[in-house]
């Protein structure tokens, strides 16, 4: 079988060697001495506790937080749900941007009354408009660090500072930003931040909610005192340790910066197709965006045959709503931006992407689009 070219890292990134090695070593350790419940004081439990706390420190270091501010979850979706639930306990009104991930939009809408703030054609909110949406009963404001479909960066620091002045909790969805750009949670001053391990090369089924020191929220999951009574349920020791290993690797020297630079260069090669092929445009901000995501509008063809053509050429990308699995539903993000929500390609690179992967996409797409247009015409 010929080599595949995986360019869908924004959906999930392949497991890094550091995560795989951590999992293998932990399985061997568990076989040798047995790993117990991290909440127990016997040797097996204390061994597991030490591993979890080491990983907590590693994740905190990567994200510029205190270790006690890190609450491990089953992923970003649970972290977002916990943030929304906790914020809802303070009042019924929440504010979010129209381009937020569906986990934010749907959980907040279910929790109570919401105000949705629009965006411009680049997918960016106006900070003043977002702040005007805050009411006396507003419990929480949600704003993603960078968009999961078009990559546009949001004015997070400005919004966080203004919300702090108003005494309103602010939650930042950093699932796409973590491990891609430098993050200093403590310096930012956000109250809550959600992340996911598998987006940056860790295992699936584990993530974290960062909770600023001094912020008290009722837990979403009840039934035990795990995570200092902030999230009940037996810790996913395997996943947590592997998450920590990836965080430690990215925090080592300037590895995060080097990967970010390489990914941006690769993304710019993808974006260059907009100037080479008629009817292809860049969606989102072409400059102020996350380094690994490029979203292209492809006029005159439906996305499904384009995806099939690329897949036959050995190239994996995504189209449509980032939350859709099998059906290519129109993107709420692109609809909010006022652009064509039906014909887009999201190309996302990552730690394992090679220039050959990008070459395969750049070489295959023009011919596929030309052929489909000729058939349609």
Whether residue 77 sits in one domain with residue 10: no
- DSSP, collapsed to helix, strand or coil, labels residue 256 as helix
Say how many domains are in the chain.
2
Whether residue 102 sits in one domain with residue 169: yes
Query: Which is catalytic among the residues 232, 323, 324, 362?
Result: 323
Q: Of 235, 251, 267, at which residue does a domain stop?
A: 251
Query: What is the model's pLDDT at position 1?
Result: 57
Calculate the CA dihedral of residues 38, 40, 44, 47 and round it to 10 degrees: 50
Whether residue 161 sits in one domain with residue 31: yes
User: Which CATH number characterizes residue 163's domain?
Assistant: 3.40.640.10
Mean pLDDT per segment of 10 residues, for the chain of length 377 residues? 90 98 87 78 90 97 97 97 85 92 94 95 97 94 98 98 95 98 97 98 98 91 88 93 98 94 98 91 95 95 93 93 57 93 93 97 95 83
Is 323 designated active site?
A: yes
Whether residue 264 sits in one domain with residue 201: no
Whether residue 353 sits in one domain with residue 342: yes
Please name the helix (run of DSSP H) or strand (run of DSSP E) that holds residue 186, with its range, or none.
helix 185-188
Query: What is the model's pLDDT at position 189?
Result: 96
Query: What is the model's pLDDT at position 241?
Result: 97
Q: Of 218, 235, 251, at which residue does a domain stop?
A: 251
Distance separating alpha carbons of residues 39 and 245, to the nearest angstrom: 22
Query: What is the model's pLDDT at position 36?
Result: 85
Whether residue 296 sits in one domain with residue 208: no
Query: What is the model's pLDDT at position 34?
Result: 66
Whether residue 181 sits in one domain with residue 95: yes
User: Which CATH number characterizes residue 323's domain?
Assistant: 3.90.1150.10
Query: What is the model's pLDDT at position 324?
Result: 46
Q: Of 221, 251, 281, at which residue does a domain stop?
A: 251
Whether residue 182 sits in one domain with residue 103: yes
Under 8 Å between Cβ of 151 and 292: yes
Domain range enclosing 227:
17-251
Whether residue 298 sits in one domain with residue 203: no
Whether residue 168 sits in one domain with residue 88: yes
Whether residue 278 sits in one domain with residue 240: no
344-367 burial, b at 16+ Cβ within 10 Å, e below that, comes to bbbbbbbbebeeebbebbbebbee
Whether residue 283 sits in one domain with residue 239: no
């Amino acid at each position: 079988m010929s080599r595949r070219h995986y360019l869908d890292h924004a959906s999930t990134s392949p497991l890094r060697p550091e995560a795989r090695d951590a999992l293998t070593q932990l399985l061997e350790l568990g076989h040798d001495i047995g790993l117990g419940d991290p909440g127990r004081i016997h040797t097996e439990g204390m061994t597991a506790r030490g591993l979890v706390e080491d990983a907590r420190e590693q994740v905190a270091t990567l994200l510029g937080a205190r270790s006690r501010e890190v609450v491990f979850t089953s992923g970003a979706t649970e972290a977002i749900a916990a943030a929304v639930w906790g914020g809802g306990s303070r009042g019924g009104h929440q504010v979010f941007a129209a381009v937020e991930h569906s986990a934010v939009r749907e959980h907040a809408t279910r929790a109570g009354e919401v105000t949705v703030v629009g965006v411009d054609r680049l997918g960016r909110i106006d900070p003043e408009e977002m702040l005007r949406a805050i009411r006396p009963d507003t419990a929480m404001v949600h704003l993603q660090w960078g968009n999961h479909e078009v990559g546009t960066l949001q004015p997070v620091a400005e919004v966080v500072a203004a919300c702090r002045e108003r005494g309103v909790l602010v939650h930042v969805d950093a699932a796409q930003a973590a491990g891609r750009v430098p993050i200093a949670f403590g310096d930012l001053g956000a109250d809550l931040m959600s992340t996911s391990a598998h987006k940056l090369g860790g295992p699936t089924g584990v993530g974290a909610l960062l909770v600023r020191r001094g912020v008290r929220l009722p837990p979403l999951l009840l039934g035990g005192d795990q995570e200092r009574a902030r999230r009940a349920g037996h810790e996913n020791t395997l996943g947590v340790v592997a998450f920590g290993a990836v965080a430690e690797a990215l925090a080592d020297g300037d590895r995060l910066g080097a990967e970010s630079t390489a990914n941006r260069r690769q993304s710019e090669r993808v974006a260059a197709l907009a100037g080479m092929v008629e009817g292809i445009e860049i969606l989102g901000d072409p400059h102020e965006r996350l380094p690994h995501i490029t979203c292209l509008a492809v006029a005159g063809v439906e996305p499904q045959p384009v995806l099939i053509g690329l897949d036959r050429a050995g190239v994996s990308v995504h189209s449509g709503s980032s939350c859709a699995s099998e059906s290519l539903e129109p993107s709420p993000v692109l609809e909010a931006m006022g652009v064509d929500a039906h014909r887009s390609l999201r190309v996302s690179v990552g730690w394992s992407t090679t220039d050959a992967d990008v070459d395969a996409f750049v070489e295959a797409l023009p011919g596929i689009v030309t052929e489909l247009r000729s058939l349609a015409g």
